[in-house]
Chains A and B, each alone.
Chain A
């Protein structure tokens, strides 16, 4: 029997797949494996005993428990707070909706270090929420995680809600269901896949959060991620770090499998429709109030951040911004010379240059991956290959950036891959961290293209390239630009991996901010605030531009 010809032959598929697989192999699998190898085979001997010993330590258990409970609580809060906002921003019509939608996205792309600083500003004894006494408690960390992640819930669930056909809900109402009953029996079941997706990815982000926990937890509270950092850099206990990395990897793979099962509903086909947003009605008042509350809560830390960057010695001043031209003070009294080799503003320039490189790398890689995993295939082997590739390229999401960064440090500094002094090392690491976001932004769009469009083009005589240009490219360019924006923002704020591999003569801004915070001497603290404001402003601008492109989802996870 003659099989219909695939647009892309098997050989072409393999050739195309070889490039991203090789890239991920060298720059991800190799470093992470190297890190794990150091831990489990110390001095060349296989020693699983050391790993087991680490897992039995009371401190390890405490760290794991801390990670699990803070992530769970933060996830639950993010979902509870995100749902009404998703409804209001995606189902109701009101002036300024586009701007608000863009603004709620800002916390998500803020550098985690900056988020930590902003939250601390808010809960500090002198801050607006100082009375609650949250400073130095785990609740400050939970607050930070929620602040960071609520946007994921709003965007993921909002995109699903936006295109949810109104008629099943109307049918239920016509059968006598009250608005509350409609929500419980029709709307939430239809949104379940989106909610589960959002919750699982938020949990993932919470469980691997680094900057927020490092800044807010200090030495008292550690999550698995910060503990790996501590074990690696301060205590040089590589077996323990490797053991924790392994635990993290296993837990996250398990989480993704469970989420995949939970997402499954009796009938996955959801009725999609272009739904016109309605004017707010009286029944929407609770959701609107909730939204206003959440928006206020999102704005508060950022406001606190801006205010504290403008307060020097109890007076309003731009001194902190002027100090961006300096190199920081190494000692408390300001007489100990420079903290950095270059001025802080050069770090901003470095960040932008590095993020630019990381963006084109992740776009190139992500586009190829997105094409690979959305190709239609008819054979079971093809489906398995595709599913495997899809999971493989999501791995960077589940592996600690700290592990990745340290892996880079120990594996890519000798032949065959010696990148120690290459300026591309940092961008490559950041591109890998941004890769899942790029892939998840492009995949739903490509998967949504009806294959019959391609078949129609082919039947009219278009070759594979022509088909690509006619059918795929027109729908892809906007998501591609959006992915570029997200990737740029993520790279700009990346801290976990960068902290390890960045060279002292070309630091990035998040790294500089963190070091300034470590040395809270004269003006250093305010300079860190000013740097955070500049970084946040830059990223907010990028996000606002991306939002104008009106790409529906922040990826579908």
Chain B
């Protein structure tokens, strides 16, 4: 049976205190059993988002964010890390898994930083709890 860490894209949905929800499509790698990592070259706003709403649901989806109905809908607790070995491990694992796609994202982000404000890279760590 394939795990959600083997999926190409996942939909990460966080639930805001006001009842709203915020869903984003992320690349995913599995760092260890039931521990997912979504590396992004631009982590702007992620820390605030997941600090306010750490309970998330994750499910496999298409590149455009359409959930796959036959995929498992899992519950997790998210935390954002902007430095340290987990960030490095997630970045490397993402580069290995996604190859050119991850490199293009990184290059686009560097180009954005060249013309605008710095966008710190970050990794969203998700512990699957159910």
| Chains A and B belong together in one complex | no
Residues of A within 8 A of B (CB): none
List B residues at the A interface (Cβ < 8 Å): none
